[in-house]
Structures are given as C-alpha cells and as structure tokens.
Chains A and B, each alone.
Chain A
Amino acid sequence: MNELNPKSEIRNPKYRIVPIGPYHPLQEEPEFFKLIVEGEKVVDLEINLGYNHRGHEYIAQTMTFDQVPFLVERICGICSDSHPYAYCLAVEDICKIKPPPRAQFIRTIIGELERIHSHYLWLGLAGHFIGYNTVWMWVWRYREPLLDLFELIMGNRNHYAINKIGGARRDILLEDYPKIEAYLNLIEEKTRMFTNAILDDPVICARLEGVGILKKEDAIAYGVLGPTARASGIAIDVRKDDPYDAYDKVDWNIVVFEEGDVLAKAKIRLLECIESIKIVRQCLKKMPEGPIETKIEDIPLGEGIGRHEAPRGEVFHYVRADGSNMPVRHKIRAPSFMNIASNVVAVKGYSIADAALVLAAVDPCYCCTERTIVYEHGKMKYTGKDLLQLSIQKTEKLIRKYKK
C-alpha cells in the first residue's frame, strides 16, 4: 500500500480528497485512486495497489512448467489468453523451439479474437460512463456471440487454455470455420457502424476530445504500452516489432494517433478491431495442415523472455529454468502495471466528472464505482452513484448545448 508521498499536494488544507476505491475500477485488479481536488479540479492523484496481490510469481515457482499456463491465465479474466501466450513464448525461448505452423495460426486467431472481445468490453463501459447506456447495451450485445464462439472452439467462454508449451492444446475444426467467418462478417459491419456513430455524434466527441491528454514525452518516461502508447504517437506493437507465430505471415497495420486524449484511445480500439478481423480472416484462409504441437522432453537450464501484445499492451514474462521441472523464477509484467502509473499525469487539471473516464481510458475493466465516497468534515459527500451522475450531467449539458 501507499503512504502519502511527502511531495504531494495533499497536505495543503485547501484541497480535498476524493477516494475512488479500494475495490474499484478494474474488475481484476482492485485499486484505490485518491483524487486530490480543489473544488472540481483534480490537482493530484495517489495510487494504491496491492488489494488483489495473489502471489502468482511465487505460486508459479511451486508448479511444474506444464501447470503454469493454467495458473497464469487466471491472472486476468479479460486477457486470459495473453498471459499463457507470453509464458509459452518465454519457455519456448529457453528451449529455442517454435511450435508447428498450424499451432502458430491457431494461437494467433485466438489472440486476435480476444482483442476484439476486450476492446468491445471497454467500449461498452466507456459508453456507460459518459451516460450513453444505449452504447453500452448495444456493444455488449455483439460481444456476447464471440464468447459463445470461444465456448464452441475451446469449450469455455473464458479461461480457454489454448496455449501449451510448444503448440496449441486444441485444434480448430473445419466445421467451425464458417461459424467464425459468419461472426467476423457480423462484427466487421457492426464495428464500422459504431465507429461512424461515435465519430458522428458531436456530444460523444465533445465529451472525449481533449480529455485526459497523455503527452508523448510523459508516455515515454512512464513507459506506457499498447493503445495508451499508440494514442500518444508512439508506434510500438510487439506483433510488428518482434513478430512471433503467424503475425509476420499476414498483412495488417498498426493504428497510431498523435492526440493522446480519450477520443484517440477509443478510435484506436475501434480501428484495431478491424485490423484483428483482417488478421483472423487471413489466418483462416492460409491455415496450414499438420500437427498442432511440438513435443518437448525437458526444459534445459537457461532463461527466456516471452512477449505478447495483449489488448492493453505488451505482456512480459521472464522465466528462468535450472534444469528441473519447475521454474526457478517467473516474473510477470502486465501492461496495466505501466499504464496505470501514467494516470498521475493524465488526470491532472481535469474535473471530477472527467476523472472517472480518464482513469478508465487506459484499461477496459471498470466496474465498481459504487464504492466511491467523499468525506467532508466527517460527512459523506459523493457516493459512486453521484460520481456517475456528475459524469452523466456533464454529458446532458453538452447534449442541450448541441441541440440549440
């Protein structure tokens, strides 16, 4: 947990603290944001972590190499493909092997489908937080068939366990191809519709544009990743920089914007869905025949680094093996570890009504604002509902303005 930073503005009596948390925004990582405000304006932010520290790195050291993918996919419910993916790449780096081509394509397909479902989840919640509940319901309506598709392919809506050291655990059956393609057609049409609907709506644009700007130099200093970095004009993407599996065998583009605001992050996520659809389509078309795994006898002594571009940025896994059947050290770095830290600069100078949105902009899972309470002279001032209300009121004000 965090103690107050001695340099913080928090000790000044004219400032108030708006706590958001502890069991707040990100479904899988409860965190505690203390907004330090002067009136409506946010002047500083304190971040407390650790409410969901489950000691995965330690537990991984007590498990065999084959068991660890099942452990690490439980780190996060949304990117439950990304962590085992990066872990398998790390162990394959130790052994210096590559999975057979068919397994590479299967892994890539699942990785990209996961990106679509994660970006849709974020988009729905962003809609909810600016008071556009229609967007929320509508977006999630088209996310649902994807989860059914996961169940069809891998037997589970979440925690699909497709990755295995040296290959994929399950094959994609020929009879499932048309179902995947039908879904891609549906989601492509709907993604284009949402992109147009959001960019054409003056209220949504006014609400998101110029809010929560993360400047490029701050983005470099904080080492942010994924859509957060690409929205600030840093063209990094592991799939292009360090291509693995099938990513260099298909044609696709990185989406980069310069603005660094919430609107840029939303646009990036929508356009990335289109790129993901492109990748999955080409993978299905080019899918080679053959086995889906390389048998590995022993994991040799050595160390390996695995990196995968998760929906929120680069997932990093470092594994060290000593020749036994368990890792000696397994370091896991999720993209949010870097992205959340950058909220400190992104949220400064904006109003409380914007804060909920800015804090949600780096990470798609934002659920429990009900826990937000403000104490002033010992009395509760804002509840989570009020905070959401503030955000919705601001949107309504904008709607009235644009109607005139």
Chain B
Amino acid sequence: MEILYTLHICGIENMEKVYSKEILEGIKKKFPNVEIKVHSPRRTYLKIEREKVYEFAHYLFKELGFRLSIATGIDTRDGIEILYHFSDDGAGTYYTIKTVVPKDDLKIKSLADFLTAANWIEREIHELLGVEFVGHPNLVPLLTPEDWPEATYPLRRDYE
C-alpha cells in the first residue's frame, strides 16, 4: 500500500489568529508563578499551586469572560491532579488550569460560590476521588448510590 496521506501538524498556519499573546502576558503579569505550556494553537495548559487556583479561576471567569467547561480529577503519583478546563469561546481556545492536591491533605477551595457551573463537577470529583472542596454549598454525592460505602473512591489508583 502506498504511503497514506502525509501527516501535518494541526493548524500551525492559523497560529496568529487563535494563539493570544495578550491573554498569556496578562496572566503572567497577574500570576507570575504560572507555568505556561502551549500544546497547540488552541490548547494551553497553565500550572499553578492550589492556593492560587480560586483567585486564578475568578480572574479567568470574571475578567476574561471564559466559560468553565468542566474539571477533571486524576490520581497520579504526586497526588490528585485537578484540571479546570476553561473555554475562550470567541477565539475557540481552551485554557486548562492544572493543580496538584497532595494525598495527605486533600483539600482545595471550592469555586462554586461564584461559578455555578462548578457545583456538580466538584461533587463528582469529591465522590470519585475523595477531594474535599472547602466552601462548597452542598457537597453530597452526585452519581454513586445512597448505599455506597464511605471513603471508597472508584477512580483512585493504588500507587505504592
């Protein structure tokens, strides 16, 4: 079989249009600790310590007008990693806030008080991974049945 279609890198030619330097510079000015990783023109990952997540998410939602798409919780060796996926709908770009919550102190400030969209997903991460969202108005399980045993977290991995 002949060589199939040549692989080409996703939309680099459109880089200027979507990859917003101003937004990233503004973020860097306000939050100098942020580690910025541009994966592709439309996908950016921003790593920040957990104490700053609340403030940072507030900045993205209130000042830049991004929409919270969803959050992801991942069990890793370093702790539970939480990713808040924010979408800049005008430019079609995703900004993902990355933070790690250590296993011996599974606590992070809840975003639900200013961001209603975070309400359900925080409940989901709480029941599936056991992260406590401090200040959440109603942190009861969302998906697991009523008779689900306590402190049993289905998405945890048993790393040694």
Contact = CB atoms under 8 A, between A and B. Distances in A.
Contacts of A98: 7-8, 10
A220 B92 CA distance: 16
Could you say which interface size class chain A belongs to? 35 or more
A337 B121 CA distance: 9
Given A1-B141, A303-B39, A97 B69 contact: no
Contacts of B42: 242
Interface stretch (B19-27, B28-36, B83-91, B101-109): B83-91
A222 B68 CA distance: 9
A290 B89 CA distance: 33
Nearest to B72: A331
Interface residues of B, number: 43
Nearest to A328: B74
- Interface of B, helix, strand, loop or mixed by DSSP: loop
Interface stretch (A50-58, A110-118, A195-203): A50-58
Contacts of A50: 141-145
A370 interface: no
Interface stretch (A2-10, A141-149, A153-161): A2-10
Nearest to B42: A242
B70 A96 contact: no
- Interface of A, helix, strand, loop or mixed by DSSP: mixed
Interface string B50-84: 00000000000000000111101010000000010
Nearest to A95: B7
B138 A96 contact: no
A241 B92 contact: yes
B137 A97 contact: no
Given A1-B141, A100-B5, A221-B116, A329 B94 contact: no
Given A58-B154, A96-B40, A318 B5 contact: no
Interface of B: 4-5, 7-10, 39-40, 42-43, 45, 67-70, 72, 74, 83, 85, 89-94, 96, 115-117, 119-121, 137-138, 140-146, 154-155
Given A98-B8, A318-B85, 5 more contacts: A2-B142, A49-B143, A53-B144, A223-B68, A341-B119
